[in-house]
A = this chain, B = another copy of it.
Amino acid sequence: MVVLELHIKPTFAHTIPHNISIYFFSSLQMDPNACSMQHSHCVEMTMEVHQVVPPPHKSTLHKLKARLKETFFPDDPLRQFKGQPLKRKLVLGAQYLFPILEWGPKYSFKLFKSDLVSGLTIASLAIPQGISYAKLANLPPIVGLYSSFVPPLVYAVLGSSRDLAVGPVSIASLVMGSMLRQEVSPTADPVLFLQLAFTSTFFAGLFQASLGILRLGFIIDFLSKAILIGFMAGAAIIVSLQQLKSLLGITHFTNQMGLIPVMTSVRMDFTYLYYLKFYFCGFSAVVMANDTDGDVLSSATTISQTRYLSQPSIKKPKLFWVSAGAPLLSVIISTLLVFAAKAQNHGISVIGKLQQGINPPSWNMLRFHGTHLGLIMKTGLITGILSLTEGIAVGRTFAALKNYKVDGNKEMMAIGFMNMVGSSTSCYVTTGAFSRSAVNNNAGAKTAVSNVVMSVTVMVTLLFLMPLFQYTPNVVLGAIIVTAVIGLIDLPAAYNIWKIDKFDFLVMLVAFMGVLFISVQGGLGLAVGLSTFKILMQITRPKTVMLGKIPGTDIYRNLHQYKEAVRIPGFLILSIEAPINFANITYLNERTLRWIEEEENIKEQLNLRFLILEMSAVSAIDTSGISLFKELKATLEKKGVELVLVNPLAEVIEKLKKVDEASDFIQADNLFLTVGEAIASLSSAMKSQSSTL
């Protein structure tokens, strides 16, 4: 028998040499024939046991500063300013506030060619969609065009996304229209309704900009992808149903938004339909469907899938140009048809005369007092959050796709400022639209100049082409809305969520049903509440997992997950998988004692000697958490079980040490860096104890 003895000098002040047998070698012995080191059986060496140390001391102020920085400046936006001369700092600062200063000077004719094409393409979408969405918000159609003129210009100067196509969007339009209609009728008092809409837009902008300036952008993260999928599907159905009014030409339509009142309206009014109207509408709808359906739909689905599943590629639909041009084409064809057939005299409702000229100022229409202020602020808040979520998500998706960075908080300031400017120039709430941004990207947009091109095109339309829209039938606008929003229903994403996470699916369903049967705010609120509740429950009921040794290694893992892992007799090794705090100490206490009781009942061959708590996943602890250890230690002592802590992380060991100064309750021999070292050290101590007895 050969005995090899290895002496290792303790190289660090905090390591204590212990005399223990090394399991590593004995485990190699399992198959002696395969092992040429057969005599290692009796290898004994002096091995280090590593001590757990607290992190270097830092003052409370210093920690607070670090914490605040991580909370509000995780992207460290001032990093690039460091070490630069003052002049450079000023330039960088200006570029930070106005990204146009960064890319503007490098702008070339080649880029402009791309931007021109894409700008014209999105303009051809923006004009009919602008008119349609304004009607969705119960606003005069022209406001939709105004909103496609000023905001894109503002965004081109302030925004940092190169692909965002700015303008009114369906969801925010729907929500604004339906919320404001709760108190003011858009037909009985159109001026007041317009005032409320502009003031809501101002508050939406103010709220968005504040989120950005106060760096509270993470609030929109609580609208998770699951919530958005459910919410948008519900909203799409409601929007589509509301278009039944124009599609079927129903005259007495409900003012409410829910599924039930809309369905009731449709049923009640259905019998009164004029046959002529019905057929003409049907015909128009079919024209529309043929023109745009497959392609706009597939493009919208593609972008929405991209967003949800974050696939790094957007496939260009084959009939892309047809799809992009279809809405405008439908408007032109149907307008010509109505004009030719003089169908407006046969019960087909048309847009009618529109005022020529660019946006009139509207700051005198902002109302910061009066009875409706509460509603205005609520509407501003909700449309602000919704449009911000859409804008930021679209911006981030394309930034990731093209490998550039979009600063979320900076974007919020840009979108917020854009809406505040918009509210004084007759625009209602705008943001970066899903579908139009996808078209913009497909058409080859390179910079925000495509927004400028679109804006100029809309301006030309406003100045010179308004009379052409006089005969555009409302039914076409309805069809445009329906085709745009139907693509927001993302069944594959919903199926994916079902497959991966059932709770997320439930959240999605709550958002969907809530929007359909309660209200937009109600559905969103319920779903956000439910998902926040889930997070809290993860903390309140943290997982505790029993660990075992994976044979032949020093690795300890979940016994349930790794079937080959084995228990070490006399030890109960639990891993706690959450921060320990006031919300879960009662549970952890009860659960740990239950583990021990179960232990006592089952295995009577060897008494439980040590409870090892593996703390690698306990990221934080508070004063209640500290008291849990004290309580546990006292209870365990009565049962003759010793409490051992393994790998407490920086914050935890720091606080334990602070308590220790007073009461000395966690000694070095109950504190180990790894489970392996703890077991080795404790079982050798146990053995030497029993041999001396």
Contacts and interface: CB of A to CB of B under 8 A. Distances in A.
A627 B310 contact: yes
Interface residues of A, number: 114
| Copies of chain A in the complex | 2
A624 B225 contact: yes
A438 to B, nearest CB: 18
Contacts of A622: 224, 226, 500-501, 503-504
Contacts of A311: 630
Nearest to A637: B312
A564 B623 contact: no
Contacts of A541: 70-71, 74, 218
Contacts of A554: 554
Interface stretch (A51-59, A233-241, A259-267): A51-59
B582 A221 contact: yes
A628 to B, nearest CB: 8
Interface in A636-651: 638, 647, 649-650
Nearest to A551: B11
A403 interface: yes
Interface string A606-649: 00000000001111101110110011001100100000000101
A503 B582 CA distance: 13
Nearest to A30: B11
A630 B308 CA distance: 11
Contacts of A557: 647, 673
A530 to B, nearest CB: 12
Contacts of A638: 403
A279 interface: no
A685 interface: no
B499 A658 contact: yes
A486 interface: no
A37 B583 contact: no
A622 B503 CA distance: 8
B558 A75 contact: no
B76 A538 contact: no
Contacts of A224: 581-583, 622, 624
B500 A659 contact: yes
A558 B54 CA distance: 11
A211 to B, nearest CB: 13
Interface stretch (A180-188, A286-294, A420-428, A586-594): A586-594
A309 B591 contact: no
A222 B583 contact: yes
Contacts of A222: 582-583
Contact of A226 (B54, B70, B582): B582
Contact of A538 (B308, B545, B620): B620
Interface in A495-521: 496-497, 499-504
Contact of A31 (B4, B8, B647): B8
A4 to B, nearest CB: 6
A369 interface: no
Given A7-B34, A218-B587, A659-B500, A400 B551 contact: no
B501 A650 contact: no
A470 interface: no
A9 B34 contact: yes
B591 A74 contact: yes
Residue of A408, A579, A659 contacting most chain B CB atoms (<10 Å) = A579
A221 B583 contact: yes
Given A8-B34, A674-B555, A55 B561 contact: yes
Contacts of A630: 309-311
Contacts of A218: 540-541, 583, 586-587
Contacts of A501: 622-623, 655
A558 B55 contact: yes
Given A536-B535, A583-B535, A627-B308, A6 B30 contact: no
Contacts of A11: 30-31, 551-552
Contacts of A7: 34-36
A346 interface: no
Contact of A6 (B12, B37, B74): B37
A332 interface: no
B582 A4 contact: no
Contact of A12 (B531, B564, B616, B624): B564
A303 interface: no
Contacts of A309: 627, 630
Given A221-B583, A561-B53, A631-B310, A36 B4 contact: yes
Interface in A534-565: 535-543, 545, 550-555, 557-558, 560-564
Given A30-B11, A221-B582, A650-B560, A623 B496 contact: yes
B500 A658 contact: yes
A542 B67 CA distance: 11
A649 B502 contact: no
A577 B500 contact: no
Given A312-B634, A561-B54, A616-B616, A497 B623 contact: yes
30 contacts: A6-B35, A7-B35, A8-B28, A9-B31, A11-B551, A12-B564, A48-B553, A50-B550, A50-B553, A53-B561, A56-B560, A56-B563, A71-B541, A74-B587, A75-B594, A76-B594, A221-B587, A222-B582, A224-B622, A308-B627, A309-B627, A310-B630, A310-B631, A311-B630, A403-B638, A496-B623, A535-B535, A536-B536, A538-B579, A558-B650
Given A53-B561, A311-B630, 4 more contacts: A6-B28, A225-B624, A500-B626, A543-B619
Interface of A: 4-9, 11-12, 24, 28, 30-31, 34-37, 48, 50, 53-56, 60, 64, 70-71, 74-76, 218, 221-222, 224-226, 308-312, 400, 403, 408, 496-497, 499-504, 531-532, 535-543, 545, 550-555, 557-558, 560-564, 577-579, 581-587, 590-591, 594, 616-620, 622-624, 626-627, 630-631, 634-635, 638, 647, 649-650, 653, 655, 658-659, 662, 673-674
- Please give me the 4 A-B residue pairs with the lowest Cβ-Cβ distance, nearest first: A224-B582, A577-B619, A617-B617, A312-B634
